[in-house]
Chains A and B, each alone.
Chain A
Amino acid sequence: MHLTCRDLVVRFRPDVELFRGLSFDLTQGDLVSLTGPSGSGKSTLLEVLAGWRAPTAGTVSRNGVVTVAWVFQSPVGVARRSALDHVALPFLVQGTRRPGADARAAELLDRFGLAAVADRPFGALSGGEAQRLMFTRAVAKGADLLLVDEPTAQLDPASAATVNRVLGELAGTRSIVVVASHDLATQAACDRTIDVRGVPAGVAT
């Protein structure tokens, strides 16, 4: 499974051009961070990688990448449904019956340090817990490609640290994880960094 981008360009108007021929390769287990100033197109690049936006020029090759999961800056959930319900849903969709889905969801919640809040409604979770829940659900979905957009932007430092720790645990898993973030700690949790302005930034680890 690998993801290859070649000579990417996204143009919004004739005078606004992003990426300028950006090229990179990602493979299974990669955990990379996208860097660049505000407006440089980090989120846009995530959309391109997800297949939700076609680039103006260049190609994206996603060999073996079928399922894509997103983790957004603001966690998305159903306020009155429990954390367990959120993680169980992907298993139910995969055909697992409720008891099995709950068991597997509980296992994942435990792995991500959320066992204590499994029965708590999503609306009652703290920001850090909700964001970690989003990661947990993405793993439950079995995503080949996990796209993460500013996961710590709305969190206090302590919550952000827990989220970054969870992020770091995703390295080397079966997914390709791409994170758009200004947060240096988040970038440090990743294996390497891609500057979306098209400038090679080297390896961050």
Chain B
Amino acid sequence: MRRRRSADDGAPPPAYSRSARPRRAPRDRMEPGEVVREAWRDVSTGVARPLLAAGVLALIMAMSGVWAARGVVDLSQEAREFRTAGASTAIMTMEMVVDGAVCDSLATYPGIEAAGALRPVAQGVRFAVSPSRAIPLFEVSVGFIDLLSVIGAARANPDGGGVSGVWLPEATAEALGLAPEGPWPDLAIPAGGQVRVAGLYTFPEDGRQQDLSFAVLAPVPAPDGLALDSCWAELWPATYEVSRLAVAVEPLRIDGSKAVNPTFAQLNSTLGEQFDGPARFAEVARAPGVALAGAASLAAGFVLIRVRRLELADSRHCGLSWATQGWTMLAEAACWILPAAAVAAPVVLIAALAGNPEPPGPAAAAGAMAVVCAAAGAAVGTLLGTWTIAERQLFQMVKNR
């Protein structure tokens, strides 16, 4: 050893000689099959903490998946409530000039789920069980019964009455001595004869107009030109706009009735005028739950790698390249990501099914999206964690241990 000169004696800038620059280690030639086997050994020996990792990820997946699915289910329930309450039902009134057949045909228009017309009959109707009491009677078009299935949970008489009979709200049925459950017998009228009961419907006091809460609805054939008073249309998505209704109402007029001005109303305005399902669904889909699931699982994947940084840096020191180590860590991650997804999936599916008034597809898809995001986040976190591992850190890690 020789002391030649000190550092500050004007020596040339410090440098490694060309041959002494830190070199890349020879490229590793680990076989892909060995990568998988090494990963499996790490999993089977518990080095990769597969149970902990799967447990944490399954929790993240289940929580975010349930959150996403329930968001859609809640939206479906809210939409169903909006519709069944009559908030999406518009009433277009033009006394004695509404063409019932045309009104029924509105149901074929995009955005109109059901439509039907009606008019009150002045005398009402009396039944033998209570001859002194006149019950309001409405003549309705056939399409109105379809509308009742949306806003009134109409249920037909099990004895097969169909539309060839009257429809009664539950309050009227109770007043006439009919049980809530069918089959319902024919009703006698004071003048003699029987009236068939086609079915019952519910018409609760939930803020809707109460005209039909105690009444008798009598479907009548609606040939062209039958003049009724109002046309009810169930709009979905529910955007109650007068301008839109004004367009729909013009074809309803029976010829020669131009002088009658239409009036518009909402059957139930207590829940607001609009319920834009697609827009609300898009909002639910953009909810931060899915992003949070991705971020949380990314963090989990990252941390699970970082806690092994010393052994991973040591493996790099044995010549393992970043790419090979990344593949190994991904293979290990697959061994806990897939079981976590398998555990979370049924939970999410149950969440999508429970209390869902609609087919579970959209809710299940939303939940599945959260699960997939969590899985992807875990994989990315694993790779990011691996990316931060460097052989060079080994010395400092050992010193700091």
Q: A residues engaging B (CB < 8 A)? A: 4, 6-7, 9, 11, 17, 20-24, 43, 47, 50-52, 54-63, 66-67, 69-70, 72-74, 76-81, 85, 89-90, 92-95, 97-98, 137, 141, 194-195, 198-201
Contacts and interface: CB of A to CB of B under 8 A. Distances in A.
Contact of A24 (B1, B33, B46, B310): B1
Contact of B11 (A7, A20, A24, A70): A7
Nearest to A66: B23
Given A6-B4, A58-B14, A194-B1, A98 B20 contact: no
Given A22-B1, A66-B25, A137-B318, 6 more contacts: A21-B5, A22-B3, A51-B23, A59-B17, A60-B16, A76-B398
B30 A95 contact: yes
A22 B38 CA distance: 44
A91 to B, nearest CB: 10
B25 A67 contact: yes
A72 B318 contact: no
A69 B33 CA distance: 26
B319 A90 contact: yes
B34 interface: yes
B319 A62 contact: no
A70 B395 contact: yes
A76 B314 contact: yes
24 contacts: A7-B5, A21-B4, A22-B3, A23-B2, A51-B16, A51-B20, A51-B23, A54-B16, A57-B11, A59-B15, A59-B16, A60-B16, A74-B401, A76-B311, A76-B314, A80-B47, A90-B318, A92-B38, A93-B324, A95-B31, A97-B34, A98-B37, A137-B318, A201-B1
Among A4, A21, A23, max chain B CB count under 10 A is at A21
A201 B7 CA distance: 21
A80 B41 CA distance: 10
A62 B20 contact: yes
Interface of B: 1-7, 11, 14-17, 19-23, 25-26, 28-31, 33-34, 37-38, 41-42, 45-47, 310-311, 314-315, 317-320, 324, 392, 394-395, 398-399, 401
Dominant secondary structure at the A interface:
mixed
Contacts of B26: 66-67
A81 B37 CA distance: 13
Given A22-B3, A52-B392, A195-B1, A60 B398 contact: no
A43 B112 CA distance: 81
Nearest to B4: A7
B318 A93 contact: yes
Contact of B1 (A69, A79, A85, A198): A198
B7 A57 contact: yes
Nearest to B25: A67
Contacts of B394: 70, 76
Contacts of B45: 80-81
A21 B41 contact: no
